[in-house]
Chains A and B, each alone.
Chain A
Amino acid sequence: MFVNVIQTISTYAIPVVILLIPLYAVFKKIKVYEVFCEGAVEGFHTAVKIIPYLLAMLVAIGIFRKSGAMDVLVSILSPVTNFIGLPGELVPLAVMKSLSGGGSNGLLTDILKTSGPDSLIGRIASTMTASSETTFYVIAIYFGAVGIRKTRHAVSAGLIADLAGVLAAIWICRLMFG
């Protein structure tokens, strides 16, 4: 029921917004076409401006992923991950989901295949993957678009939130399905 309601809203949200914004603006005597184009001019420049930031981030993450360094990181982190009750097969995913959306989707597919989607591991992995965005990607895109290079505490706050999301996913799944 809830799922259907949300799904309906998300199907109609964009069509309704695309319809209502210009319609309401016309009542306000706005020259809709002219104003649209005036704003849209920036689109190309903004997207191009993101390139160096996103490239820097993706190249570093790409080299790290391809090298197999993840295994090394997982074994370094194992005392911590054992302590918080994170099952070993989920550790690479927990790290990857902050770094790369494509990478974590790949790991999720593997876990669903080996452990089964309806196993506890499969459910925790699904919940973990879905419950947050890829922190480093978001930072590169959003800060890149406005030329922010000094990110201050954005990375730490994002990573703390990622960790909280991972812990929450484990606890909730243990509680509901365990």
Chain B
Amino acid sequence: MINYIWLGLIVVGAIISIVKGNAQFVTDAAIESANTAVTISLGLIGMMTLWLGLMNIAEKAGIVNAVGRLLKPIMKRLFPEVPENHPAMGSMVMNIAANMLGLGNAATPLGIKAMKELQELNPEKDTASNPMCMFLAINTSSITLIASTVVAYRVAAGSKNPAEIIGPVIIASIFGTVIAVIAAKLLEKFSKRGGRKCS
């Protein structure tokens, strides 16, 4: 699926630009986005290094496993393929908690750490495993308790009550996450590993 979406974005974008006589847009967008990608990735180095260091301490001290055990009943059901005491469980719980609190800087490195641990359990290194897809679905829908960025935009736009959306956001994001979990569980039955449906 991702192959078609990727191709579609490029083909549709390029054709429309060229037809409208704006061929230069394609070049501009390509250069600009390529640079942005490098800036974002390199910008992650600091946070990535910090959290991988801290998490190594936490893991050796048994903290990561203890965190994983806190939510064992839920995690076991969401990720049946992951052994109960695997460090991936703890990393995923910490990532989800950081996301809920709106701590994006910490959440991304913790999530990547969790992905690395899931990758250790993954028999096919270039193909996403079921727990990886589930973890990703939970992450993209991410339950949001504090919508600080959007509240800031609302303040800037002169809202009388900028924080009034926090309640709706919590409900909408919980609903989105529940649907994400159901979708990931149902879809994993249809997308076989190594088969054509993987695209």
Contact = CB atoms under 8 A, between A and B. Distances in A.
Contact of A131 (B13, B54, B144): B144
B184 to A, nearest CB: 4
A62 B169 contact: no
Contact of A161 (B99, B135, B179): B179
Contacts of B139: 133, 138, 142
A6 B34 CA distance: 37
Given A39-B57, A50-B44, A117 B154 contact: yes
B20 A68 contact: yes
Secondary structure call for the B interface: helix
Contact of A145 (B55, B116, B149): B116
How many A residues touch the partner, as a band? 35 or more
B26 A51 contact: no
A21 interface: yes
A133 B44 CA distance: 17
Given A6-B101, A9-B101, A63 B50 contact: no
Interface in B7-34: 9-10, 12-14, 16-17, 20, 22, 25-26, 28-30, 32-34
Contact of B12 (A35, A69, A134, A169): A69
Given A138-B140, A152-B198, A55 B34 contact: yes
Interface string A124-135: 001111111111
A28 B1 CA distance: 47
A131 to B, nearest CB: 4
A156 B62 CA distance: 36
Contacts of B103: 10, 13-14
B70 interface: no
Contacts of A69: 12-13, 16
Given A7-B146, A108-B150, A131-B173, A158 B14 contact: no
A157 interface: yes
A161 B176 contact: yes
B126 A148 contact: yes
A32 interface: yes
B34 to A, nearest CB: 5
Contact of B22 (A67, A108, A127): A67
19 contacts: A17-B54, A32-B57, A41-B52, A42-B52, A51-B41, A58-B33, A63-B17, A63-B25, A122-B159, A126-B169, A131-B173, A132-B173, A139-B140, A151-B2, A152-B197, A153-B1, A153-B183, A154-B184, A157-B187
Given A39-B56, A57-B6, A146-B118, 6 more contacts: A22-B54, A58-B34, A68-B22, A143-B136, A147-B126, A150-B128
